Chains A and B, each alone.
Chain A
Amino acid sequence: MATTGQALRPARAAAPLLAPATLVVAVMLVAPLLLVLRFSLDRYDPTELMIETVTGANYLRFAADPFYRAVLRTTLGVAVACTVLCLLLGVPIGYRLARMRGRWKTACVLATVLPLVVGSTVRAVGWMILFARGGVIDATLRGLTGHGLELMYTTTAVVSGIVSINLPFVILTVQSAIETIDAELEEAAQSLGAAPGRAFWRVVWPLALPGITVAAILCFILAMNAYATPYLLGGPRFQMMAPLLFWEFGTNNNWPFASALALVLMTTTLVLTAAGNLLIPRRYRI
């Protein structure tokens, strides 16, 4: 008991050190969110912008209109597809990176991190050059087969763009999770007769699951909220929540409805993230 008390004392002493960060988060994150919540209950008026009231009309409008529900479905579909693709590509790469040694490891980690140095918009422009009519892919295929391939303004373009942005985050998160798992555990499993694949699946995978879950959550959240990539690579006809939200906010000046869309997007993301976490066995949950 005395030991517990002694352990708590330094923790209590350190608590004031958290105060500035807590204050910053409260002011810069919670307060704006509360403001967005308040705006979402207002009524839009073309000349007054917002009329202060308390109404759920903006949320009802979203729920009742098949167009907005379809946009949310598209957003979810893209986010899930990107998350699955990033995990399929990122877990093997992360595992390999974690088990690498020496100069090659440094070079490969650098190569993974390098795309993060370039902003997502600039990367999207790079994809545009690849995907556009007369772009690298179209021109190459046209030269080889006589038939081009236009990928701009398609779901493929958007998913490719988002995967390219999110993949480094997944790889690095998975790598750091696997690095904490002692390689000797795998060797022990193999010395007891487990094939490498079985050793990975029965030993590494369960232990890495919390880290892989974090990677998936990170990827899913980033994909749900993607703005520049769907806007640039999807074009005007490809509707996702973030560009739609900005259209309502900027073009229509409908702040109450844009606020409601923002909260619907945020709530959906949070609920699905929590639900996804529930699918993981309890002992491996984060």
Chain B
Amino acid sequence: MRDTIRLARRGLLASAAVLPFAATRPAAAEEGQVVIATWGGDYANLLRGNVDEPILAPEHLTVVQDVGDEDPRMAKMFAQRRLPRGSDDVVCLQAVRAHEANQAGLLEPLDATKVPNLAHVLPNLRTSFYGPHIYSPQVIIYNPDKVPDPPKTFTDLLDAKWKGRVGVGDINYFYVMMAAALSATGDANKVDAPETQALASKLNGNGLRLYPSTDSIGAGVKSGEIDVGLMWLARVIMWQNAGIPVKANFLPEGNVLYLSGMVVPKNAGNKPGAFEYLNAMLEPAAQQAFAAKMGYLPTVDNAKLTGKVGQQLAFPDPAPKLVVPDYDITGKLQGPTSEWWKKNIQHG
């Protein structure tokens, strides 16, 4: 009896907690509709133009985009975890957040029987719960008009000549910490090592500029506020296409991969539709379109890049060292690293 009351109370609290997200689909959502929680802007438009309309519409699958930021998406999944039916069928997440969600037991297992195109996913990007969509290595960026001798390694950024001229995205803090970990310890997963934290603090002490969004780093380079930074290669290509003077150097100690993809929550209302969506986004044509428009590399082995895109995204020779973090480790370090960053870098 006591347990029943406790469960009822917990159920009531959980129900109340998800009230703000109660604009959920009708209980009997149409089988022909899939809801995808995604970023907005170019990403959402490209999904619509290259996945939703050309591939899924002919299959009579209507796609509804639930546009928003990643953090609220994660919060929503957690809040809805005890509901029999969540509001989203597919959720777009960075790899590190997807592993965090998986560790919390929120995700549906995935394999090639459910999503056939998963068989084409590059071996180093495969997991049992994640549909990797796009990836790009983190590189040093610089303004070639103002920097004739660009920094080559993370520790080069500590040089006094770059004081106040280096910028990173505050929201990309975990990737900055992984780059610091690679430089300080040789292991991108050791974001909580004292050597990593000391190196990041030194960078901060050299007048590091923090930008609230990824786009604002490009604006910082364009306005001359910064000359150097850390960013994904894909953004460099986008900014070059937009006329911003920026070039990239691969870090010899290794380049952490920014990996973004999709997951299916365990309580997704339309799981067959969700699997179909994941399969569609892994189609070569959709992957090639994202490479051409956003500069991200395909995550599958059957989407060859040719022409200008192929040249822009071709790796130099010798091939740079690409590093896929162990997300099972980094997923657990997300919270403590966020806390450390907030107190020592933002407030440092």
Interface residues of A (CB under 8 A from B): 31-32, 35, 38-39, 46-49, 52, 67, 70, 132-134, 150, 231-232, 235-237, 239, 244, 247, 249-255
Task: Decide if B78 touches A253 in the complex (CB within 8 Å).
Answer: yes
CB distance from B91 to the nearest CB of A (A): 14
Q: A46-B103, A236-B346, A249-B75 are in contact. List 5 more A-B contacts (CB 8 A).
A: A231-B212, A235-B210, A247-B342, A250-B69, A251-B338
In the bound complex, CA of A47 to CA of B223 (Å): 42
CB-based A-B contact count at 8 angstroms:
73
The answer to whether B17 has its CB under 8 Å from any CB of chain A is yes
In the bound complex, CA of A47 to CA of B335 (Å): 11
In the bound complex, CA of A204 to CA of B332 (Å): 62
Closest 8 CB pairs of A and B: A250-B71, A236-B170, A236-B210, A134-B223, A47-B104, A133-B225, A133-B223, A49-B78
Task: Decide if B223 touches A132 in the complex (CB within 8 Å).
Answer: yes
- Say whether, besides A236-B346, A250-B72, A31 and B16 are in contact (CB < 8 Å): yes
Task: Decide if A254 touches B104 in the complex (CB within 8 Å).
Answer: no
Task: Decide if A35 touches B16 in the complex (CB within 8 Å).
Answer: yes
Tell me how many residues of B have a C-beta within 8 Å of chain A.
34
Task: Decide if B342 touches A46 in the complex (CB within 8 Å).
Answer: no
B304 CB contacts on chain A under 8 angstroms: none
A251 CB contacts on chain B under 8 angstroms: 71, 338
In the bound complex, CA of A138 to CA of B224 (Å): 13
The answer to whether B110 has its CB under 8 Å from any CB of chain A is no
**A to B CB contacts below 8 Å, 24 in the list:** A32-B16, A32-B19, A35-B13, A38-B13, A39-B17, A46-B104, A46-B332, A49-B78, A52-B6, A52-B10, A67-B342, A67-B347, A132-B223, A232-B212, A235-B211, A235-B212, A236-B210, A237-B210, A247-B342, A249-B75, A250-B69, A250-B71, A253-B75, A255-B17
Task: Decide if B335 touches A46 in the complex (CB within 8 Å).
Answer: yes
In the bound complex, CA of A47 to CA of B107 (Å): 12
- Please, what's the 1-or-0 string for B111-153, where 1 marks a CB less than 8 Å from any CB in chain A? 0000000000000000000000000000000000000000000
B75 CB contacts on chain A under 8 angstroms: 249-250, 253
B219 CB contacts on chain A under 8 angstroms: 132
Interface residues of B (CB under 8 A from A): 6, 10, 13, 16-17, 19, 69, 71-72, 74-75, 78, 81, 100, 103-105, 170, 210-212, 219-220, 223-225, 332, 335, 338-339, 342-343, 346-347
B69 CB contacts on chain A under 8 angstroms: 250
Task: Decide if A47 touches B105 in the complex (CB within 8 Å).
Answer: yes
A249 CB contacts on chain B under 8 angstroms: 75
In the bound complex, CA of A252 to CA of B339 (Å): 8
B19 CB contacts on chain A under 8 angstroms: 32
- Name which residue of chain B comes closest to A67, CB basis: B343
Task: Decide if B17 touches A47 in the complex (CB within 8 Å).
Answer: no
- Name which residue of chain A comes closest to B343, CB basis: A67
B81 CB contacts on chain A under 8 angstroms: 49
CB distance from B204 to the nearest CB of A (A): 10
A134 CB contacts on chain B under 8 angstroms: 223-224
CB distance from B195 to the nearest CB of A (A): 23
B212 CB contacts on chain A under 8 angstroms: 231-232, 235-236
Task: Decide if B103 touches A47 in the complex (CB within 8 Å).
Answer: yes
Task: Decide if A253 touches B225 in the complex (CB within 8 Å).
Answer: no
Task: Decide if A133 touches B105 in the complex (CB within 8 Å).
Answer: no
CB distance from B166 to the nearest CB of A (A): 14
In the bound complex, CA of A133 to CA of B227 (Å): 14
B225 CB contacts on chain A under 8 angstroms: 133, 150
- Say whether, besides A235-B212, A237-B210, A49 and B224 are in contact (CB < 8 Å): no
Task: Decide if A252 touches B338 in the complex (CB within 8 Å).
Answer: yes
CB distance from A126 to the nearest CB of B (A): 16
A236 CB contacts on chain B under 8 angstroms: 170, 210-212, 346
In the bound complex, CA of A253 to CA of B77 (Å): 11
A237 CB contacts on chain B under 8 angstroms: 210, 346-347
In the bound complex, CA of A48 to CA of B81 (Å): 10
CB distance from A262 to the nearest CB of B (A): 14
In the bound complex, CA of A132 to CA of B10 (Å): 48
In the bound complex, CA of A281 to CA of B6 (Å): 51
B332 CB contacts on chain A under 8 angstroms: 46
- Name which residue of chain A comes closest to B339, CB basis: A252
- Name which residue of chain A comes closest to B169, CB basis: A236
A255 CB contacts on chain B under 8 angstroms: 17
A253 CB contacts on chain B under 8 angstroms: 74-75, 78, 335
